[in-house]
Amino acid sequence: MEYGEEEPVSPTGQYMSSSVLNLITLAFLEFQVPIDDLQILDLIKDQFLPINPRFSSKMAEDESGLKKWKRVEVDLQEHVKIPKFPPSEFVYDEYLDEYVAEISMNPLSRTRPLWEIHVIKYKTSNAAATVIFKLHQALGDGYSLIGALLSTLKRADDPSLPLTFPSRQSSSKVNQNNAVNILKRATKVFSGIVDTVLDFGGFLVRGEDDPTPIRSGKQGVEFQQLEYTTLTFSLDQIRQVKDILKVTVNDLIMGIILYGIRVYMRGEKHESMKAAATAMLLFNTRSVEGGYNSVSEMLKRDSAMPWGNQITATHVNIPKLMAKTNSYSELEEFVLKIHESTQRKKNSSAIFLTGLFIDGVRKFKGSEAAARFIHSDIRKSSLVLSNLIGPMEQMALADHPVKGLYFTFSGAPLSLGMNVISYMGNLRVAIASEKGFIDQLKLKACVQEAFDTIFASLL
């Protein structure tokens, strides 16, 4: 695409950048060493901008109101921010937290490409330096954007070798024998039809979750300030537990997170342990078993794993707590309920019908109407959960080793969101919560305790 040339913004991209939705992805690279000598502007110009024409394009509307990507000259000084913090004898965690909370609230200017890079050259308890990529969701979903970042990084141990990614296989083996029982197949097809009808019907008539200690339910919650923190779990420990319970890694970590959330709710308001609450789960519709395709492959018209917003969502009821105190047996049952629920969702085609329904709203009522519907669906939920896989090996940017990697969001009409990514044998859980409403330290402790309990009890 040459300068001045225009490309239509995808329907999902239009939803994400409407008058009611303005969703932002924040991706964090934590460096093991100082980055004072990192030639960040040259790296952006030579490596980041060439990744995709959208990074050099602004969103514009034509005479008919159709949004398009229009190539423009990029002034890097407008996009790269290098803040200066007051001198301190200690690490700069508090300054960084305040800075992230501030930039998450500031909208990206529509007069230029929809991204910023913030270079934090100060030491925190987690890293010697931090680089934050602030990217509008209209540019692409988490898979596209994280894939773009990974394309600029190399393996720290040997840049000539490719990055590898953990397997997503379930611990339960799939029978590939041709003599698979026909009755079981027929039963699965029938149950899938029933699940589809029930799930899609439930989506159409779904009411709001109850107001709880994790859901304020207030109008305009997307404009409330968020605060951010992270938790780290061992991927090997997660795998050991999931093999014993015969569930997937995703279902196990989801069960641990949601159980910890329920315990937090009970501690803040006892009756909320049985309140109606749902988690919106975001799914990548691509087949990503082998990790990430190169960006050049994603940009091909016939790519099996294309660039863009290839995501869908479903809702899972958060199981209610029955006991007044934590117990391993309750936690195990909780995780198994989550596993059963997500497996049933996978057997349902409701998420595809939901996509068709929203696209129908767009065609007949316009993108703004579809965006309002999506906004309402998100706001009715108690939280959003998403996950991505990251490299097993340590990465480096221009010979500067990356110690940590995680991502989060801003702009969603929710009081709470969790984003999970794997990196170097760990799972990093990023928590975004409404400041002044959710006690983030207590919530974090409850999720950590849930993990410690199930790991210690099973092994």
- 347-358 confidence digits (pLDDT tens): 777 777 887 888
Q: Are residues 124 and 188 in the same domain?
A: no
Phi and psi (nearest 5°) for 98? -65, -40
In the beta sheet, which residues pair with residue 234? 426
Q: In this predicted structure, what is the pLDDT of residue 66?
A: 81
Domain end call among 119, 140, 155: 155
Q: Are residues 259 and 369 in the same domain?
A: yes
Q: Are residues 90 and 226 in the same domain?
A: no
Distance, in Å, from the CA atom of 145 to the CA atom of 163, rounded to the nearest integer, reads 17
Q: Are residues 186 and 322 in the same domain?
A: yes
The encoded tokens of residue 198 equal: 């029930």
**Chain centroid offset of residue 196 CA:** 25
Asked whether residue 108 is assigned to any structural domain, the reply reads yes
Asked whether residue 405 is assigned to any structural domain, the reply reads no
Q: Count of domains in the chain?
A: 2
Q: In this predicted structure, what is the pLDDT of residue 301?
A: 57
Asked whether residue 289 is assigned to any structural domain, the reply reads yes
CB atoms within 10 A of CB 257: 25
Q: Are residues 151 and 194 in the same domain?
A: no
Q: What is the CATH number of the domain that holds 60?
A: 3.30.559.10
Q: In this predicted structure, what is the pLDDT of residue 145?
A: 74
The percentage of residues in the chain with a pLDDT greater than 70, rounded to a whole number, is 85
Amino acid at 66: L
Confidence label for 9 from pLDDT (cuts 50, 70 and 90): confident
Asked whether residue 90 is assigned to any structural domain, the reply reads yes
Q: Are residues 55 and 108 in the same domain?
A: yes
Average model confidence (pLDDT) across the chain = 84
Q: Are residues 137 and 275 in the same domain?
A: no
Phi and psi (nearest 5°) for 285? -85, -5
Confidence label for 144 from pLDDT (cuts 50, 70 and 90): confident
Q: Are residues 221 and 123 in the same domain?
A: no
Question: What angle, 0 to 180 degrees and rounded to 10, lies between the N-to-C axes of helices 350-365 and 367-380?
Answer: 140
Q: Are residues 207 and 349 in the same domain?
A: yes
Who has greater pLDDT, 272 or 63?
272
Amino acid at 208: E
Q: Are residues 75 and 214 in the same domain?
A: no
Q: In this predicted structure, what is the pLDDT of residue 221?
A: 92
Asked whether residue 34 is assigned to any structural domain, the reply reads yes
Task: Tell me if 252 sits within 8 A of 245, measured CB to CB.
Answer: yes
Question: DSSP string spanning 251-295?
Answer: HHHHHHHHHHHHHHHHHH-GGGGGS--EEEEEEE-S--TT----H
Distance, in Å, from the CA atom of 135 to the CA atom of 145, rounded to the nearest integer, reads 8
Give how far Cα 302 sits from Cα of 10, 102, 203, 305, 307, Å: 16, 40, 32, 9, 11
Q: In this predicted structure, what is the pLDDT of residue 57?
A: 93
Confidence label for 1 from pLDDT (cuts 50, 70 and 90): very low
**SS3 (DSSP) at 389:** coil
Asked whether residue 168 is assigned to any structural domain, the reply reads no
Q: Are residues 233 and 146 in the same domain?
A: no
The answer to pTM > 0.85 is yes
Q: Are residues 444 and 299 in the same domain?
A: yes
Its domain, for residue 243, covers 182-386+415-458
Q: In this predicted structure, what is the pLDDT of residue 292?
A: 53
Task: Tell me if 332 sits within 8 A of 286, measured CB to CB.
Answer: no
Asked whether residue 409 is assigned to any structural domain, the reply reads no
Instruction: Tokens 């997937």: give the residue.
Output: 248
Confidence label for 174 from pLDDT (cuts 50, 70 and 90): very low
Asked whether residue 172 is assigned to any structural domain, the reply reads no
Helix (H) or strand (E) holding 154: strand 154-155
Instruction: Tokens 């420990």: give the residue.
Output: 237
- 277-306 confidence digits (pLDDT tens): 999 988 766 555 555 555 555 555 565 555
